[in-house]
Structure 1
Amino acid sequence: MDSLITAAGRALAAGDPLGALQRVALREDPPALALRGIAMAQLGDFVRAKALLRRAARGFGPREAVARARCGVAEAEIALASRDLRWPARALDAARTTLEAHGDWVNAAHARTLEVRHLLLIGRLDEAEMRLAQFDPSPLPAALRAVHDLVVAGIAARRLRARAARAALTRAAAAARQAGIPALAAEVESAFLALNRPAARLIAGGAERPLLLDEVEVLLASPSLVVDACRHLVRDAQAAVSFTRRPVLFALARALGEAWPADVPRDRLIALAFGGKQADDSHRARLRVEAGRLRAVLRPLVRVSATRRGYALAPRYAAEVVVLARLAEERHAALLALLGDGEAWSSSSLAVALGASQRTVQRALDALAATGKAQCFGHGRARRWLVPPMPRFTTGLLLSAPLPSD
């Protein structure tokens, strides 16, 4: 390996893509092309970066399997950073296997972290946790330890484990300082800021207030009966009942929870559960049927009692009933939540993350654009969506080991 390649690799490891380009910008050999591609990715030019990495991978010979695998890992990371979730996960798995077989444990660990980040983005938390538990990050360089702890924090936050998320981010911040990479430190700081913003709303006694993730964790561990409108379940300290596939029953449960300890008039329950129709005898009969179903489902936790004007809840064990709701409860709230991460998404990747059809997502994006809540740039397959105004972009591409032709 020549000195310029070594120096460029060290510059990338220190988060200095311009310094790396100064050393290899005019070279066309495969190791230089690969380093140029990583540098361009760190600068945000993903299209040019992918083209350079593919040229480098083609230029490496059949005996240079490790170098080709590193190019594959770098390309997968670019896909994640650009929110292109359609890239073949099997290619990354094959690259990781090659790196492990040849003893490149650092980049193999980085490939595994990318696999977990991909699973995290598409909401497969159980599988992400299982894969994350399969390796020990302590021998890794500081930069990769920081990325590992960022993923740990992301999973903990989605599991509503605020203490674990803060502990992971504290470790990530220390590792980022040790690595000395400004973009990585900025990513950790951004994660801290997100953790310190309100995560949900508490509705109780006719009033509501925002809750931090720490407060949500405390609430769910309390003896209160919680009607969780974020995950569509009702729970207390003893048990939990899911309403994921029972939207009408959950609409009734939420209305009764918001009104507790008062009752809710029948006409209001009919309007909430059945789409705002005018109440007549058929609607009242249907309400009696749905109330009976709700009573049967919630019998271990709460009594659903009929009153003169409607229905009311009476918890069996809990001292109070509260409702935990999303901060924003509009029609496309889940889509806006994904766009709110500051990255530019394609409609196909949004469809993968939401588990919906691409056409459904495109219609939702058009509706959000019409109201000024989302904006796009580019055309055709290059079109990307984000929330206005366009956020500042930082990338933490970390596959910065030299790419020699061994």
Structure 2
Amino acid sequence: MDPSIEAAARALAAGDPLSALNRVALRDDAAALALRGIAMAQIGDMARARGLVRRAARAFGAQAAVARARCRLVEAEIALATRKLAGLEQALDDAQAVFDSHGDGVNALYARLLQARRRLLTGDVEQARAALVAIDAAVAPPAMRALHALLLAGIALRQMQARSARLALDRAARAAHGSGVAALIAEVEGMRRALAAPTACLHVDGAVRLLRLDDVEALLNTSTLVIDGCRHAVQSGATTISLARRPLLFRLARALGEAWPGDVPRAALVQRIFRGKAADESYRARLRVEIGRLRAALRPVAGIRATAAGYALAPGVDIPAPALAVAVLTPPVDLPNADLLALLADGEAWSSSALALALGVSQRTLQRALDSLAGQGRVRALGRGRARRWTVPQGADITTNFLLTDAPAAA
């Protein structure tokens, strides 16, 4: 093997893209182009990285099937990092098939990890979990064991399982330190900070207090009717009713939950839900329709009773209950820029203009907030100019595929 190529591959395996560039920056052969592309991706210049990797794939030629598949795998990981998911499932399947047929087990394993990460990003949490459980991470290199554990931690966080997330992060930390890749170590520490930070505000009996994920998990495991403003859902025990696609009904449920055990006057509901100035007959009729829809949606966990003044939550008719306990969870908005982080928490990439519109602030105010959060490593920018989008760093969001060569250190 070319000594410069081997040294560059070892540098990328150790998470040192600058050293790799020093060895291949002036070369235009296929392997050098591929390694330059990976180095640029690790630095964060995804557009240039994508172009270099595509040039490398063409330069390898049709006869070098494995090398071309490795290039496609790098390009797929860049697409994941930039949230360009269209056609990604087929691309990963095709690359994995090539690796399996040529005995490249390490890259085949890496393709499976990326497929699981794609499913996690698209909301297929259970499929992502099943794919990760099927992977024997014990035989993987340390960096891949760290990525595997980070993905399991991300699934646990989404499912409000604090203990499982903490155990997965412990495994990820051991593997990341074993790999010596500083970016992976920083990723684990970042997720640990997120796990330790306040996750939600609890509104109950007129009081408000901050909760960590452990507290939220304990609350969701009780029979309390939880109106969850973080996920836009209503949950009681094992029953969860999602209202994410019905925002008006969720606002109505939250208003009733915050007033519990009292009721909410009809005029107050009209002003809060419909932004109406006066509760005239048309607004009252519309309110009755929405209350009926909410009553039907919440039937498995709670009821809604009409009072002389308005409406109030009540025990569900389908589930006998001597009493009803209600709690409302909201994002921790008293923390700096928490409303901005809450919008970005779903992992989607937002433009600054869309964020400013959603938050009702000026572009200048929003940009100051984004710059502050970017300096703390809590948000990151994708793209440039008018194509720039903002998102929060997710687990395993670093392009670390360094297996384009068969260098021993890259395994």
TM-score (norm 1): 0.82
Pairwise CA distance, 1:74: 1.2
CA deviation map 1:42-85 (0-9, x unaligned): 22233332232222211213331111111111122223234444
| 4+ long deviations beyond 6 Å | none
Residue of structure 1 equivalent to 2:389: 385
Residue of structure 1 equivalent to 2:399: 397
1:282/1:339 CA distance change after superposition, 3 Å: closer
- Matched-pair contact (CA < 8 Å) for 2:356–2:366: no
Residue of structure 2 equivalent to 1:165: 165
- Matched-pair contact (CA < 8 Å) for 1:25–1:36: yes
Pairwise CA distance, 1:290: 4.1
Residue of structure 1 equivalent to 2:377: none
Q: Say if 2:18 is the partner of 1:18.
A: yes
CA distance in 2, matches of 1:254, 1:170: 37
What is the DSSP-based 3-state SS (H/G/I as helix, E as strand, rest coil) of the residue aligned with 2:227? strand
- Matched-pair contact (CA < 8 Å) for 2:230–2:329: yes
CA deviation map 1:146-188 (0-9, x unaligned): 0111111111111111211111111111100000111110111
CA distance in 2, matches of 1:92, 1:298: 41
Pairwise CA distance, 1:270: 2.2
Identify which range, 128-137 or 179-188, moves more after superposition: 128-137
What is the DSSP-based 3-state SS (H/G/I as helix, E as strand, rest coil) of the residue aligned with 2:208? strand
Letter in 1 for 2:219: L
- Matched-pair contact (CA < 8 Å) for 2:263–2:310: yes
- Matched-pair contact (CA < 8 Å) for 1:79–1:87: no
Give 1:40-189 correspondences, 5 Å limit.
40-86=40-86, 88-189=88-189
Letter in 1 for 2:310: G
Pairwise CA distance, 1:403: 2.3
Pairwise CA distance, 1:284: 3.1
What is the DSSP-based 3-state SS (H/G/I as helix, E as strand, rest coil) of the residue aligned with 1:324? strand
Pairwise CA distance, 1:301: 3.3
CA distance in 2, matches of 1:238, 1:50: 44
Give 1:197-216 correspondences, 5 Å limit.
197-216=197-216
CA deviation map 1:310-357 (0-9, x unaligned): 22223335552111223359xxx998546469xxx9xxx738xxxxxx
Identity of aligned residues (%): 52
Letter in 1 for 2:332: L
CA deviation map 1:122-143 (0-9, x unaligned): 3332332333233222210000
CA distance in 2, matches of 1:234, 1:339: 21
CA distance in 2, matches of 1:128, 1:70: 22
What is the DSSP-based 3-state SS (H/G/I as helix, E as strand, rest coil) of the residue aligned with 1:373? helix
CA deviation map 1:185-242 (0-9, x unaligned): 0111111112222222211111222222221111110121212233333332364444
What is the DSSP-based 3-state SS (H/G/I as helix, E as strand, rest coil) of the residue aligned with 1:372? helix
CA distance in 1, matches of 2:84, 2:10: 28
- Matched-pair contact (CA < 8 Å) for 2:260–2:326: yes
CA distance in 1, matches of 2:397, 2:295: 51
* Counterpart among 322, 325, 343 of residue 320 in structure 1: 325
CA distance in 2, matches of 1:339, 1:225: 26
CA distance in 2, matches of 1:251, 1:81: 33
Residue of structure 1 equivalent to 2:231: 231
CA deviation map 1:346-370 (0-9, x unaligned): xxx738xxxxxxxxx7862463663
Cα RMSD of the aligned pairs, angstroms, is 3.3
Letter in 2 for 1:133: V
Residue of structure 2 equivalent to 1:4: 4
Letter in 1 for 2:104: D
Residue of structure 2 equivalent to 1:350: 349
What is the DSSP-based 3-state SS (H/G/I as helix, E as strand, rest coil) of the residue aligned with 1:283? helix
CA distance in 2, matches of 1:233, 1:317: 23
CA distance in 2, matches of 1:308, 1:46: 61
1:312/1:121 CA distance change after superposition, 3 Å: same
- Matched-pair contact (CA < 8 Å) for 2:349–2:389: no
Give 1:155-304 correspondences, 5 Å limit.
155-237=155-237, 239-304=239-304
Gaps in structure 2 of 5+ consecutive residues: 316-320, 371-380
1:134/1:28 CA distance change after superposition, 3 Å: same
